[in-house]
Amino acid sequence: MSKTLSLFSALLCTFIWGTTFIAQDTGMDDIGPFTFNSVRFFVGFLAIIPLVLIFEAKKFKQEFRFDIKTFLVLSFLIGL
């Protein structure tokens, strides 16, 4: 990873970390803690998937040699 990309990643992480507290304070007024955390993890999952597919596609395909149905079932079970 280049130095510029590393710096951009660190800045993005800092921005997300800093805005999380504001979003949590605002979000907890309307919904419960379990719903809030499940939505938070789901949004994080959606944010990471494109990065995995862009930067780690070859490694991802090598490590997961089973079919997509098995992957989806296991992902669903882990999510529960």
37 C-beta neighbours (distance < 10 Å), count: 13
Q: Which pTM value belongs to this model? A: 0.46
Q: Given this model, what pLDDT does residue 66 score?
A: 65
pLDDT at 1: 67
Domain residue spans of the chain: 3-79
Place of tokens 């130095």: 3
Residue 36's Cβ-count burial label (10 Å; 0-12, 13-18, 19+) is middle
Q: 10-residue block means of pLDDT along the chain (80 residues)?
A: 85 86 78 82 88 78 71 84
pLDDT, residue 11, reads 92
> Can you give the pLDDT at residue 49?
86
